Each structure stands twice: as C-alpha cells, then as structure tokens.
C-alpha cells in the first residue's frame, strides 16, 4: 500500500510519536494513508490505542530491523 505522507518519528519517545502523528494527520484528507516510522517499542500499543480512540484506522503495524512501521488511514 502506498502512503500519501510519511512521518519519520525515529529516535522520539512517548508521547512524541503520537503527538506528531496527530499533527501529520491534521493536514491530510479523509482516506489518505500516513506512514509512521518509529523506534519506540511503546508506540506499538499506543498507535493502536490512538486509532481506537480517534476513529482513524491502523491498517498495518509491522516491525523490521528495530523499526516499527505503521500505516494509518485518516478518518
């Protein structure tokens, strides 16, 4: 799946990946995909919780070489 926008949250710790995700989604339109790359293992649960509470859809959550990749579809 192609992302419409990418957020590099590498090196950032809680709650910055979530706050920056929220900010990035703000200037996107409904249905667009945001790709977030994080190195914070806590963001795996937090991204899911963010999606559950905001209605944005966490399309996928994967890990590769110590990096966590999230695809978030804007509500």
Partner 1 sequence: MKKMAIIATKGTLDMAYPPFILASTAAALGYDVQIFFTFYGLQLLRKDLSDVKISPLANPAMPMPVPMPVFVQMLPGMESMATMMMKDKMKKKGVASLEELRSLCQEADVKFVACQMTVDLFDFDKSDFIDGIEYGGAATFMEFAGDTDICLFV
When asked if residue 19 is in the footprint of partner 1 (CB under 8 A), the reply is yes
* Contacting range for partner 1; rule: CB under 8 A; set: 27-35, 48-56, 58-66: 48-56
Burial of 56 (0-12, 13-18, 19+ CB in 10 A): buried
Q: How far is the CB of 69 from partner 1 (least distance, A)?
A: 17
Report, in angstroms and rounded to the nearest whole number, the Rg of the chain calculated over CA atoms: 11
Contact 57, 28 (CB under 8 A): no
When asked if residue 22 is in the footprint of partner 1 (CB under 8 A), the reply is yes
Chain residues in the site for partner 1 (CB under 8 A): 11-16, 18-19, 21-22, 39-40, 50, 53-54
């Amino acid at each position: 799946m192609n992302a419409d926008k990418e957020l590099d949250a590498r090196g950032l710790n809680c709650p910055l990946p979530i706050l920056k995700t929220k900010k990035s989604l703000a200037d996107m339109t409904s249905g667009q995909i945001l790709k977030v790359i994080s190195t914070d293992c806590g963001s795996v649960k937090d991204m899911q919780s963010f999606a559950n509470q905001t209605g944005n859809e966490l399309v996928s959550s994967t890990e590769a070489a110590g990096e966590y990749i999230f695809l978030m579809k804007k509500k």
